[in-house]
Amino acid sequence: MVRTYQQYGFLSNIRANYFATRLDATMTLVFSGLILWVFWNLLNWGALNAVWSAENRDLCVGGGKGACWAVIDARWRLIMFGLYPYEEQWRSAIACIVMVGVGILSCVPWFWNAKRISVLWISGFLIFYVLMRGGFFGLTPVFEQNWGGLSLTIFIFASVSLIGMPLAIMFALLRRSELPWIARTMGLIIDIFRSLPLLAIMFTFAIVLPFVLPGWMIGDKLYRVIFGYALFFACYQAEILRGGIQALPAGQEEAAKALGMSYWHRIGYIVLPQAFRNALPPTINQFVITFKETSLVVVIGFFEILASGNAAFGTSEWSFAHVEVYFFVGLIYFIFVFALSRYGAHLERRLAVADR
């Protein structure tokens, strides 16, 4: 290959890019100094001066200069499992791992057909439910009210996405219906749901719904909240998908029609695959927001991971250690959301092959 640009050495590159003028040099020095200072302090606080484990809190409180990771050591089971009974927490751990495993497996292209993906998710949810709820195979029953921590967060996120996505597709298609009254009604429903705060929706589904529904339809509070959240998710995602569909040239559907393909074939094989690809960045965005907003279920009394974290430093013994606990919980959120974002970026690169 012919190189069309002049290659510089490492040092002359640095000089050219960061020290070209006096202003450049000053800014480089000031900002790199600032960054170093912040990182040095973080390192000191988080690692060098930190107390990693302690027999009791007093060993921690004395130092005061570093982080007290001993709180995580002492309270991690409360953070990870919430109110779930102590002796049964292994079930919650396995359920959590199963759910994450199902999530990871569904990123593998081999599972990308209707049959495999539904078998995967249905068995994933079944295993999760049997483990968490118990009452089968000699497992002690644990009611939904006592579920908590990371497995609850993941369960809510997975259920909302799984109920919400098919609803979103349905909403988006109805919104584009050729019959004006269907399209307008759907548009109105979407606009109403989007105008309400998520908190109000969760509250309504948890507290108000039992008064207006027949008894057999009520179900546990947890499932009502999940359903309300899924509707909320679906309304946003439907608009994202509609954007993806509208970005398609009219010729795509016309070509499919001209080949004699039916409505559902056109939607399933031509429109949706391309719409999802067009809408991939905002869809990943929507998943990220959905994951983080699971923490709102705390208002109706569920101990998902952030609420369990609050409980972990809620005793007088550990009340000084809230920064460390939030740091830990934040790290867990970060791992999930960052992995999701990177997977989104990977998908974009993969799908871009066809766009060359």
Phi, psi of 21 (to 5 degrees): -120, 175
State the minimum distance, in angstroms, from the CB of residue 109 to other proteins.
Answer: 14
Q: Which two three-digit tokens encode residue 74?
A: 């002492």
Rank residues 214 and 260 by Cβ distance to other proteins and give the closer one. Answer: 260
Stretch that binds other proteins, among 161-169, 271-279, 320-328, 340-348 (CB under 8 A): 271-279
With tokens 């994933």, the residue in question is: 124
State the minimum distance, in angstroms, from the CB of residue 248 to other proteins.
Answer: 10
CB count, 10 Å around CB of 144? 15
Q: Check residue 11 for interaction with other proteins (CB under 8 A).
A: no
Q: Check residue 354 for interaction with other proteins (CB under 8 A).
A: yes
- Which H/E stretch holds residue 148? strand 148-148
State the minimum distance, in angstroms, from the CB of residue 255 to other proteins.
Answer: 4
Report the distance separating Cα 75 and Cα 81, nearest Å.
10
Q: Which of 28, 252, 310, 341 binds other proteins (CB under 8 A)?
A: 252
Mark 299-328 with x for binding to other proteins (rule: CB under 8 A) and - for no binding: ------------------------------
Q: Which of 257, 342, 346, 350 binds other proteins (CB under 8 A)?
A: 257
Q: Check residue 347 for interaction with other proteins (CB under 8 A).
A: no
Q: What is the 3-state secondary structure (H, E, C) of 48-109?
A: HCCECCCCCHHHHHHHCCCCECHHHHHHHHHHHHCCCCHHHHHHHHHHHHHHHHHHHHCCCH
Q: Which of 31, 136, 269, 334 binds other proteins (CB under 8 A)?
A: 269
With tokens 């923490």, the residue in question is: 295
With tokens 């907003």, the residue in question is: 293
CB count, 10 Å around CB of 53? 12
Q: Which of 51, 72, 98, 270 binds other proteins (CB under 8 A)?
A: 270
Q: Which residues bind other proteins (CB under 8 A)?
A: 249, 251-252, 254-262, 265, 269-270, 273-274, 277, 351, 353-356
